[in-house]
Structure 1
Amino acid sequence: MTAMRDELHIRDVAPADAAELADLLNAIIARGGTTALQDPFSAEDLAKTYLIGPHVHCCFVAVAAATGRIEGFQTLVRNPPLPDDIGDIATFARIDGTQRGVGSALFAATKARARALGLTAISATIRADNHGGLAFYGKQGFADYAVARAIPLKNGEAVDRITKRCLL
């Protein structure tokens, strides 16, 4: 699937993207404060877990049309605690690339693919202190579904996780 939006080219992830996406994600993890992920990924582990592995429904990348640089990615995976007809989503944009429509452009492709796959809903779990992430998913039509209280980070800090759902 391809689409253009705000000078972004949206396409399916390719195995060759894994190293660049691992660098993108690892920069977010190192900065801290937005993702519940706390350990860096090798390109191989990222590919297996979120890009092209057996539990991945789909994964799209947003490529800047002018530069060819990947600005972000969005993955939709099977999460064993969820019913088979609900996908679990995660969105990652370059630290210097937020507020440029990357997530929204990616979500249009992910939502269309989820519907084509017969999914009935998409679930997102966001740290309660990730105000940008909560606002992003709310803007995409996700509604609050559940809260997991005081989930500890590696440093001992307890942070709630808010689960939101988008019905398809």
Structure 2
Amino acid sequence: MIHVRQATTLDASSMADLLNAIIEKGGTTALTRTVTAADIKERMAAQGDRAVWHVAVDEAEAVVGFQWIAPNAKLPPEACDIASFVQIGRTGLGIGSALFDATRKAATRLGYDWINATIRADNEGGLTYYQSRGFRDWAFDDGVMLDSGQVVNKVSKRFDLK
């Protein structure tokens, strides 16, 4: 059974471990450098009061996924960015759906009109996940250089809350 709750800084180490496994595997996230619990805590604090972080935990309270929304200076104020991460080997089990239910409600409560997801064009799982939630394509970025020097294309999808 998966339970979704608002993340706290006490979850930062578990979130960093989960994210680092995804980064190390490669091919799905635009992040290419590993992160620490301090990095996660710093990001949580820096995003302000229009950001919300959720974790999905299993019966043992182990973090098996997390998702956040936050404003982005490149988006209008009525929009927020979303990022989603599910533990390797646990995708397709409803974790992402449970996270998005909580995140969608939080975005509405915070007064956002729509959510932006920017996904690597070669991340088929991520593209499928957001498409299955009702996100639709709205922008494309070709030739984006990642911190590692790798060049990828990105697809931005939007989910209208209203």
The answer to whether TM tops 0.5 is yes
How many angstroms apart in 2 are the aligned matches of 1:34 and 1:142?
18
Superposed CA offset, 1:126-166 (max 9, x none): 00000000000000010001000011234543210000000
Q: CA 1:103/1:54 → structure 2, altered by over 3 Å: closer, same or farther? A: same
2:65 counterpart letter in structure 1: G
Partner of 1:3: none
How many angstroms apart in 2 are the aligned matches of 1:54 and 1:153?
22
Matched position secondary structure for 1:97? coil
How many angstroms apart in 2 are the aligned matches of 1:77 and 1:83?
12
How many angstroms apart in 2 are the aligned matches of 1:19 and 1:125?
25
Please give the root-mean-square deviation of Cα atoms over the aligned residues, in Å.
1.3
Matched position secondary structure for 1:37? coil
Q: TM-score, normalised by structure 2?
A: 0.94
Q: Which stretches of structure 1, 4 residues or more, deviate above 6 A after TM superposition?
A: none
Matching of residue 137 in structure 1 with residue 130 in structure 2: yes
- 5+ long unaligned stretches in structure 1: 1-6
Partner of 2:33: 39
Which structure's relative contact order is higher, taking Cα pairs within 8 Å and 6+ residues apart?
A: 2
Q: Could you tell me which of 66, 71, 74 is aligned with 1:73?
A: 66
- 5+ long unaligned stretches in structure 2: none
The number of residues matched between the two structures is 160
Q: TM-score, normalised by structure 1?
A: 0.90
Q: CA 1:135/1:86 → structure 2, altered by over 3 Å: closer, same or farther? A: same
Contact conserved, 1:150 with 1:160, CA < 8 A, in 2?
A: yes
Partner of 1:61: 55
Q: Could you tell me which of 87, 105, 112 is aligned with 1:94?
A: 87
Matched position secondary structure for 2:74? coil
Matched position secondary structure for 1:25? helix
Matched position secondary structure for 1:96? coil
Partner of 2:11: 17
Deviation at 1:167, TM superposition (A): 0.4
